[in-house]
Structure 1
Amino acid sequence: MEAAVTLAENGSVVSPKGFRAHGVHCGLRYSKKDLGILYSEVPASAAAVYTQSHFQAAPLKVTQESIAAGGKIQALIVNSGNANACTGRQGLADAYQMRRACAEKLGIHECLTAVASTGVIGERMKMDKILEGIPKLNPVNSEEGSDSFETAILTTDTGVKNAGASIEIDGKTVWIGGAAKGSGMIHPNMATMLGFVTTDAAIEPVHLQHALREITDLTFNQITVDGETSTNDMVLVLANGMAGNDPLNPEHSEWSVFKSAMQEVCKELAKQIAKDGEGATKLIEVQVSGAATVKDARAAAKKVVGSSLVKTAVFGEDANWGRIIGAIGHSSSAVNADQTEIRLGDLCLFSQGEPQNYSEEKAALYLKNKTIVIKVNLAAGNEEATAWGCDLTYDYVKINASYRT
């Protein structure tokens, strides 16, 4: 990727031209907002990636059908509190009914509507609540609209997740904005993770899909909270073209600028998800260098950040680099064990096959930070990758031991 991109201070899904959003409480949850809508004034090129789980939830199937119909989406209806997953034929019928009701509300074709759900698996949707709530949704281009939408998609999250950036393409200001949810069951090739990205850039669906797949591998697929993949994971990108730039494609002179901005927004959303892992107190960033292949670099980074022993050591503020060695030692990556180096921040803990003369006091002090960076050089090549996760705390057990009750 080229070109440094600076994130906007208050970027959101409504930052790009022509996008509106809203969220309301319809009764799926006790009191929190639980139904949201995202709307583009014109049909937008659409691209999406989905969970790799064998048990793909009904809303994902409906969304895939909508996008396949013409590559365009104009509206998204999303609920929290119920995943509508593993609910059989009735669940699929309910997802279709949500799509139909949203389309009728906006006066658009059903196939221009996407559907997403998140929450408890295996419970039937309270469609009476959904159908009562949809007419109350009035998407607006305002901070209140984006805030209410961001809140409506949350489950065990402790706060909203958003990001945005603007760039210049063909002399036009192009915006990219995003919102996400995710706190537990996070181990993408995708997880209970929903990401919605909007842009007013002009780009055809095929090129948008190509960019999204590449960027997802570098961002959303490089986070983990607990090693569990959900049934409902989805990242949906909508590009409505209202910025007025020449259509983007790999031959466009500013293609890399667009991809860099989109990657930065997605990376920021991914990091916010990792930081907000259920019960988490620290964000862990693992930077792997010296890998034989990019695949090896990604695998090693994710292996370390996903290790329960590494995560608990970070929570306990214990610089036990043996936990990191343990994770790398049984990863699928090529490793030059005699040359591997491990650093905690800038403090070298292990190198040349033996412990280094570092200060335990400095290491313990570093581990009190809210963001912990672990650097691993595999000494096997020139490739690199980064992964993000969080510490594993007592509260994670408490939250998940009583998730349904």
Structure 2
Amino acid sequence: MAVGEGFNGTLVPVAGITIGVGCAGIKVVGRRDLVIFELSPGSTIGAVFTQNAFCAAPVQICKEHLGAGQATRFLVVNTGNANAGTGQRGLDDARETCTRLAAHKSVDPEQVLPFSTGVIGEYLPMTALANGLPNALATLASDNWQDAAQGILTTDTREKGGSRQFEFENETITVTGIAKGSGMIKPNMATMLAFICTDAPIDQALLQSITEAATTASFNRITVDSDTSTNDACVVMATGKAQVKRVTSAEDPLYGYLLKTIKELMLSLAQQIIRDGEGASKFIEVRVEGALSADEALAVAFSVADSPLFKTAMSASDANWGRILMAVGKSKIDQLDVNCIDVYLGDVQIVAGGERAQGYTEAQGAAIVAQEEIIVRILLQRGVVNESVWTSDLSHEYVRINAEYRS
């Protein structure tokens, strides 16, 4: 199940990036489950990772390698196994993955970043992974984006990707990205896994700023089931191959163009994740208006978007507006005046001043929530800040997928 048609456009290659995709048999024999990104020398990287205290071994090793100060040359991604909850052996396996890849390409192991996604609490099958590396490396090519988008999937039903291009100083700047994620989705920094590349030249610190700002406006605005993964990571790579002046200041015009474009692409990827949420049949925007601050607006929006009762009502196409009020009320907003709150489903007002709107009928609400795409507007009447969060419904299929996940 998924909502809408999904991404079906072209993923434009990025100069300075080649991608290899292989089948290592980490969980399922014959399935693409190993993806390698090769970055040209001189590339810069911005990255954000999960804030889950039980973060996976590859997340820890990524941070360690990025902190070592060496230029990253390779990313290696495996699916089918998260290498999380695996103790010292998990750390050793993540380091060994980097060491083995580094040996194939004559680089330092600290120039390799490892990423894993899949089942938590099981050790990586290192023999299969190691044997898969040469095959994946043999396929390195600039136009392997589509296969890579497929190779990073787990319970996803379809690929997630996109490309954006703009003109700057008579040069075409390209930004292309892919992501994966369908369940265990409430990123607390980034997404499940997302890889975005551009050929723009930019200093590392500024690329990190763009990565954090774009993540905040996109991946940190989605939730499928309120669970933050142990393995979340979002990486933005810049190869510098475009023949334009390098971005060395946030005041440089190219900085603004990059920030806008990367934000747009990340938001598209984030919404693609929600449309393909596990068991999803509805794509829902929860929009909070008139808050005192962004934090306040997001607290209310996530309280609704994370509510199992709200989400199951949406799955059943039941316009149970009492569940919306309940979720708003438990958001712990200081001195919230419930008598000022209005709620709309689409363009239909269902609540006025904290109670059923005059003239509202169940038939009106039912017509809205029967649609695949739903907008819930919550007007707090407290300030001028508006924020949106995107979520999916909670269906029987979600329960089935997760009940059978390890079988």
TM-score class, shorter: over 0.9
Following TM superposition, the consecutive aligned residue runs of length 4 or more in structure 1 with deviations greater than 4 angstroms are none
Q: Does 1:387 align with 2:389?
A: yes
Find the aligned partners of 1:332 and 1:244 in 2 and give their Cα distance.
51
Q: Which amino acid aligns with 2:53?
A: H
Match of 1:402 among 401, 404, 407: 404
What percent of counterpart residues are identical?
37
**CA apart distance, 1:11:** 4.9
Residue equivalent to 1:340 = 341
In the alignment, residue 142 of structure 2 is paired with which amino acid?
A: N
- The AA in structure 2 aligned to 1:38 is F
Paired residue for 1:161? 160
Pairing 1:225-264 to 2, within 5 Å after superposition: 225-248=224-247, 249-264=249-264
Q: Secondary structure at the match of 1:211?
A: helix
**Does the residue aligned with 2:288 lie in a helix, a strand or coil?**
strand
Q: How does 1:369-384 map to 2 (within 5 A)?
A: 369-384=371-386
Aligned to 2:120: 121
Rounded to whole Å, the distance in 2 between the matches of 1:48 and 1:280 is 29
Which of 16, 21, 28 is residue 23 of structure 1 equivalent to? Answer: 21
Q: CA deviation at 1:346?
A: 1.3
Correspondence 1:47-86 to 2 at 5 A: 47-70=46-69, 72-86=71-85
Aligned to 1:4: none
Q: How far does residue 41 in structure 1 lie from its aligned partner after superposition?
A: 2.7
Q: Distance in 2 between matches of 1:281 and 1:353?
A: 29
Deviation at 1:74, TM superposition (A): 2.2
Alignment partners' CA distance in 1, 2:100 and 2:330 = 50
Q: Which is further off, 185-194 or 309-318?
A: 185-194
Q: 1-side partners of 2:171 and 2:68: how far apart?
A: 30
Aligned residue number for residue 293 of structure 2:
293
Following superposition, the deviation at residue 192 of structure 1 comes to 7.3
TM-score where L is the length of structure 1: 0.93
1:304-333 deviation digits (Å, cap 9, x = unpaired): 111111111111101111111111111133
Amino acid at match of 2:33: D
Q: Is the 8 A contact 2:65 2:111 kept in 1?
A: yes
Contact conserved, 1:191 with 1:232, CA < 8 A, in 2?
Answer: no
- Equivalents in 1 of 2:165, 2:287: separation in Å? 27
* Matching residue of 2:318: 318
Asked whether 1:194 is paired with 2:193, we answer yes
Alignment CA distance shift 1:74-1:10 (3 Å):
farther
- Counterpart-to-counterpart distance in 1, 2:201 and 2:337: 46
Q: State whether residues 161 and 273 of structure 1, in contact with CA within 8 Å, keep that contact through their aligned partners in structure 2.
A: yes
Q: Which moved more, 1:99-108 or 1:257-266?
A: 99-108
**CA distance in structure 1 between the aligned counterparts of 2:146 and 2:229, rounded to whole angstroms:** 25
Aligned length: 395
Structure 2: distance between partners of 1:252 and 1:242: 18
Shift of residue 384, structure 1, vs aligned partner: 1.2
Correspondence for 1:306: 306
CA contact (8 A) 1:191 1:230 kept: no
Structure 2 residue ranges without an equivalent (≥5): 1-6
Give the conservation status (yes or no) of the 8 Å contact 2:21–2:32: yes
Gaps of 5+ in 1: 1-7
Distance 1:79 1:321 in 2: 43
Q: Mark the CA change 1:171 to 1:228 in structure 2 (over 3 Å): closer, same or farther.
A: same
Could you tell which deviates more after superposition, 245-254 or 257-266?
245-254
Q: By how many angstroms is 1:236 displaced?
A: 0.9
Q: Which amino acid aligns with 1:26?
A: A
Residue 119 of structure 2 contacts residue 406 of structure 2 at CA under 8 Å; is this kept in 1?
yes
Q: Which residue does the alignment assign to 1:224?
A: 223
* Change in CA separation of 1:141 and 1:191 when aligned onto 2, cut-off 3 Å: closer
Mapped partners of 2:65, 2:237: distance in 1: 13
Counterpart pick for 1:364 among 366, 370, 380: 366
The correspondence of residues 142-161 of structure 1 with structure 2, limited to 5 A, is 142=143, 145-161=144-160
Is the Cα contact below 8 Å between 2:14 and 2:142 reproduced in 1? no
